Structure 1
């Protein structure tokens, strides 16, 4: 069950695992490493301060939508969260500021995406986990095509994923994205990319050139430094990987015990 630790800053846990961290007085503060990387991605998605239309699949405590509302005022954001009880809990304990421009929908992410208008989003962020795994319906090439359809020309897709060596899941997700997007990048900590431990990786895709240099500088300078793989190194990483159809799609792998605990 969802639970919220009370205080000035709030930690949302689901079944004992950390799910979201929100500082109501400082929405630009991002605590978790992978969320900080998604924040860097949003910072590099357009000129600083420019309002964007964003679609978030997966909501949690709305950490990233709050960040986008603070850093890109005037943005319009739709958040799709499957867990209706979580949506109610967050609305009660962590209310959004007035005129935040954020609309939260209790709905299935894949169904919402398929019904969304074509070319309706500048950025699509996917951070959907059922327990500790990405659901199978969000791991197929058909899903990737729907994501591309909803984005405007030059739009950006960013997905939080999790895997470990030999990276069968992560490589298949890159292969899915490569079927429908012209540009790919991957952001992760070096120990994860070297296969030394299981962890998060942010997949980026677009039909336009990605701001790789700017993003790499931000990620390298972060307190939790990460690397941006792109071009030939990424092509080598995913060599031989094949896209996965809906009929064969599976959830992301079960993480090792303690991989995402507060530790």
Structure 2
């Protein structure tokens, strides 16, 4: 679920004609407008009519990503700008920190391209479930090469569980199946795996999509608050008040988030002004919401109750 920072140049329900036929085993050489079959369905690559170097990627009917081939520091989707602002508040671009980032959910790798430009010494891994989509993205867009950025095909939870403890400074969860994140990536147990992977001072950031009732967002917030000592939420006022469908950015860490007036000004100054809630407000928002857990497993050796 993606909200753009300005009006889209094309109606979100409009479809381009025909399917682009890419021979099996070949990789496209640059972006070509059209619909493409991928392992999980189809995706559509759409030229940005407001930006001659911009492209939009829609996956299974849902707008997923925007890329500006000429400027990797341009983020068209507002929620990505909020993530970038939060990360840069924790790690200013100078003196060029060697940020270690894990992106769960690939899409067009918009944020990975951004952080490569903002932090040239960064080492990033992007996890994408759909292998064919990953291959297309490698061919369409000018992605950084390994070891600066690795695009890894795999399931986000399995990859996270396989990683060595304290090897990432930043973990970003931006995975959707339709309008919601798959439940196995939202539980207390999964958050514990993320916490284990994060180095001291690291940040876990999630893109939480929800309807106006905010039930999903409250459960997400409750689960993150149960795992991490310090939390924040970033969203626009209408979303925070439950007046529309949209995105909230939530983050957890083992160290406090600075009360940074520069961050607050940056969030308010965007095309879609946003507010940031401190830990106390997050916990108040989440109060009473259930903490999500993995399903209980049954020991096959256990006796069956009569």
Give the TM-score taking structure 2 as reference length.
0.77
Which deviates the most, 216-225 or 138-147? 216-225
Match of 1:81 among 117, 122, 128: 128
Equivalence for 1:13: 58
Is residue 149 from structure 1 mapped to residue 199 from structure 2 by the alignment? no
Equivalence for 1:45: 90
What does 1:82-121 align with in structure 2 at a 5 Å threshold?
82-98=129-145, 101-121=148-168
Which deviates the most, 34-43 or 153-162? 34-43
Cα distance in 1, alignment partners of residues 67 and 275 from structure 2: 25
8 Å Cα contact 2:219-2:289 kept in structure 1: yes
Match of 1:25 among 47, 51, 70: 70
Cα distance in 1, alignment partners of residues 209 and 199 from structure 2: 27
Instruction: Pick 1 or 2: higher relative contact order, CA cutoff 8 A, min separation 6.
Output: 1
Question: How many residues end up aligned between the 2 structures?
Answer: 248
Question: 1:55-95: per-residue Cα shift (whole Å, max 9, x none)?
Answer: 00001100000000000111000010101111011011113
Which deviates the most, 68-77 or 86-95? 86-95
Cα distance in 1, alignment partners of residues 168 and 240 from structure 2: 30
Question: Equivalent residue of 2:295, what SS?
Answer: helix
Query: Structure 1 98/142 Cα, relative in aligned 2: closer, same or farther at 3 Å?
Result: closer
Equivalence for 1:2: 43
8 Å Cα contact 2:166-2:199 kept in structure 1: yes
Match of 2:282 among 205, 221, 234: 234
Unaligned runs of 5+ in 2: 1-41, 297-306
Question: Equivalent residue of 1:3, what SS?
Answer: strand
Question: Equivalent residue of 1:184, what SS?
Answer: strand
Match of 2:80 among 29, 32, 35: 35
Structure possessing the higher radius of gyration over alpha carbons: 2
8 Å Cα contact 1:212-1:228 kept in structure 2: no
- Structure 1 residue 100: deviation in Å? 7.4
Q: What is the RMSD computed on CA atoms of the aligned residues?
A: 1.6
Cα distance in 2, alignment partners of residues 235 and 80 from structure 1: 30
Question: 1:211-233: per-residue Cα shift (whole Å, max 9, x none)?
Answer: 34243222112121101011332
- Structure 1 residue 99: deviation in Å? 6.2
What does 1:240-259 align with in structure 2 at a 5 Å threshold?
240-247=288-295
What does 1:173-188 align with in structure 2 at a 5 Å threshold?
173-188=220-235
- Structure 1 residue 42: deviation in Å? 2.1
- Structure 1 residue 51: deviation in Å? 2.3
Which deviates the most, 220-229 or 230-239? 230-239
Query: Structure 1 165/8 Cα, relative in aligned 2: closer, same or farther at 3 Å?
Result: closer
Question: Equivalent residue of 2:277, what SS?
Answer: strand
8 Å Cα contact 1:42-1:68 kept in structure 2: no
Equivalence for 1:172: 219
Give the TM-score taking structure 1 as reference length.
0.89
Equivalence for 1:222: 270
- Structure 1 residue 97: deviation in Å? 3.9
Unaligned runs of 5+ in 1: 249-263
Query: Structure 1 137/197 Cα, relative in aligned 2: closer, same or farther at 3 Å?
Result: same
Equivalence for 1:68: 115
